[in-house]
Amino acid sequence: MSAISIHAVRKEFKGHQALQSIDLEVKDQEFCVLLGPSGCGKTTLMRIIAGLETETSGDVHIGGKRMNALPPRERNIAMVFQNYAVFPHMTIGENIGFGLSERRIDKATISKRVKELLDMVQLSTVEHRYPPELSGGQQQRIAVARAVAYSPRVLLMDEPLGALDLKLREAMQGQLPTLTPL
């Protein structure tokens, strides 16, 4: 079974066709990269899969279940945005643990998972700091850690490693496929 199945997805914005009859199959545990020039619809397609945009027509299935009418919180999808989208009023630890606390996971498990993920993104010393105190690359790593914290079924990443230096980017590329479930 495919983890993601997209059939004939179209998206129009005020008469402008952003996506035209997109078909895509991504198997469970498979990595898929969308490549294309700026403005070609990569982000729009990911936002449709996540439920943050509504398709004009077509079908989106995840794990064999039609998602078109489901709100984002019921899709078990995490998305790392190009602009990080971390909560500036929360500490780094609170940012990473946010999805877990929303799912009523116990505090000890959240604390353990936050520490594991901070180690993974090589930011173990910043748990009690706030996002505005960190560089863009550090905030991007926090966004990745937050997205994978609750082991979503699907992880969508919109240029998640773009602000990182080459050495750290290569290290994180190697770590992403090995992330362990909660």
Count of CB atoms situated within 10 Å of the CB of 33 = 6
Residue by residue, DSSP assigns 76-130 as -EEEE-TT----TTS-HHHHHHHHHHHTT--HHHHHHHHHHHHHHTT-TT-TTS-
Closest C-alpha to 95, from 143, 133, 150: 143
**What is d(CA 102, CA 100) in angstroms, rounded to the nearest whole number?**
5
181: pLDDT confidence band, cut at 50, 70 and 90? low
* pLDDT tens figures, 36-80: 888 899 999 999 999 999 999 999 999 999 999 999 988 989 888
Domain ranges of the chain: 1-72, 76-182
Establish whether domains 1-72 and 76-182 are of one fold: yes
pLDDT of 180 over the 70 cut: no
For 76-182, CATH gives 3.40.50.300
Share of the chain above pLDDT 70, in %: 93
Q: Is the dihedral of CA 102, 180, 75, 123 positive or negative?
A: positive
At 153 the pLDDT is 86
Per CATH, the number for 1-72 is 3.40.50.300
Digit-coded pLDDT (tens) for 128-178: 999 999 988 888 889 889 988 888 888 898 877 776 778 877 877 776 666
150: nearest Cα among 95, 125, 178, 113: 113
The predicted structure's pLDDT at residue 43: 92
